[in-house]
């Protein structure tokens, strides 16, 4: 069973890694947009119209698309001063509780992101200056939450499978 879980985790990790690359490209685009704005305003008395809106729209993929990859790599910061002193069975129970709670929160967040995206599409919401549709940003949020949900679910299943094998 662990082999199958690892294969699925590998596939999800590849998708998450590509989304992390998209996130990095968005950082580069934000950097370029803001450099153009600063140089244009400082030396040429010219402003990049809508640069702030573009930067705001690009912040969403930057902040959300790499979270699942970090979760799969176990790269989140963990403070273990207390948990290291607990018995392994208590640590295991706390880990399971944490993943179950996180999964439930991600279900709620994914659902609400979908509702918001659907509303933005139906209402044809756009940004003020450049009239950029808002729904793609909501879609990115939904994808990020959904991928984090699947990542935590797979980690939870793997943890339980490993625990079942060691008994």
Whether 128 maps to a domain, the answer reads yes
Residue holding tokens 């704005």? 37
Q: What is the pLDDT of residues 119-144, one digit of tens each?
A: 999 999 999 999 999 999 999 999 99
**Does residue 62 lie in a domain region?**
yes
User: What rounded mean pLDDT belongs to the chain?
Assistant: 93
Of 147, 119, 115, nearest in space to 134 by CA: 119
Distance separating alpha carbons of residues 80 and 153, to the nearest angstrom: 22
Helix (H, G, I), strand (E, B), or coil: what is residue 126? strand
Q: Is residue 81 part of a domain?
A: no
> Residue 39 domain-assigned?
yes
Total number of domains in the chain: 1
pTM over 0.95: no
Q: Which residue, among 102, 104, 27, has the nearest Cα to 71 in the 3D structure?
A: 102
Interatomic CA distance for residues 22 and 25, integer angstroms: 5
């Amino acid at each position: 069973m662990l082999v199958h879980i690892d294969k699925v985790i590998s596939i999800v990790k590849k998708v998450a890694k590509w989304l992390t690359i998209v996130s990095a490209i968005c950082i580069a685009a934000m950097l370029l947009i803001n450099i153009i704005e600063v140089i244009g305003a400082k030396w040429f008395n010219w402003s990049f119209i809508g640069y702030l809106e573009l930067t705001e729209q690009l912040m969403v993929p930057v902040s959300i698309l790499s979270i699942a990859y970090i979760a799969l790599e176990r790269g989140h910061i963990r403070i273990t001063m207390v948990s290291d002193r607990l018995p392994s069975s208590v640590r295991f129970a706390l880990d399971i509780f944490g993943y179950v709670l996180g999964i439930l929160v991600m279900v709620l967040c994914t659902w609400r992101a979908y509702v918001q995206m659907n509303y933005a599409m139906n209402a044809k919401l756009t940004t003020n200056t450049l009239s950029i549709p808002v729904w793609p940003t909501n879609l990115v949020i939904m994808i990020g939450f959904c991928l984090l949900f699947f990542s935590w679910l797979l980690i939870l299943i793997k943890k339980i499978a490993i625990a079942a094998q060691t008994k």
